[in-house]
Amino acid sequence: MHLHVRRTRLVLILAGIIILFLVIRQRGYLTSHWKHLVFFSIGTLISIAPLAAFFARHPDIFIGRFGQEGILFNGWLVQQASLTGKSVLEILFDQFTDTILVFVAAPPRKFF
């Protein structure tokens, strides 16, 4: 999968978060900007239609990288729980803290 496809997914998520933030933060945002939001929605649908059609035909490609590298879909989490004796929640918490602390206090693990 090309890098621009992954960026496209991220851009859509970030745009949704920004719009949600504006709706929550600014009183009357929906009523004053409804036309803009309609055009944004139409443009988004037009731009993602080819990508959505491709992934509908190839769902294995859509989830492929998550299955390879993620800890939730490839059995690593369950295997780690049985090897260490920790609960799944403990391992998830450890992964979360390792991810956050890598920016301020801890060196990265493995290849990251």
Summary mean pLDDT of the chain: 81
Query: Does 20 share its domain with 57?
Result: yes
Query: Does 25 share its domain with 43?
Result: yes
The pLDDT confidence band at residue 60, using thresholds 50, 70 and 90, is confident
Prediction pTM value:
0.49
Query: Does 11 share its domain with 49?
Result: yes
Enter the tokens of residue 49. Answer: 């239609």
Query: Does 45 share its domain with 95?
Result: no
Averaged pLDDT, 31-44: 92
Q: At what angle do helices 34-57 and 59-69 cross, to 10 degrees?
A: 90
Per-residue confidence (pLDDT) for residue 4, from 0 to 100 = 47
Residues in the chain: 112
Query: Does 112 share its domain with 80?
Result: yes
Q: Using CA atoms in the order 73, 76, 79, 85, what is the torsion angle rounded to 10 degrees? A: -110
Query: Does 57 share its domain with 75?
Result: no
Domain count, the chain: 2
Domain that holds residue 19: 3-61
- Nearest Cα residue to 62 out of 1, 20, 19: 1
Query: Does 13 share its domain with 47?
Result: yes
Whether residue 103 has pLDDT greater than 50: yes
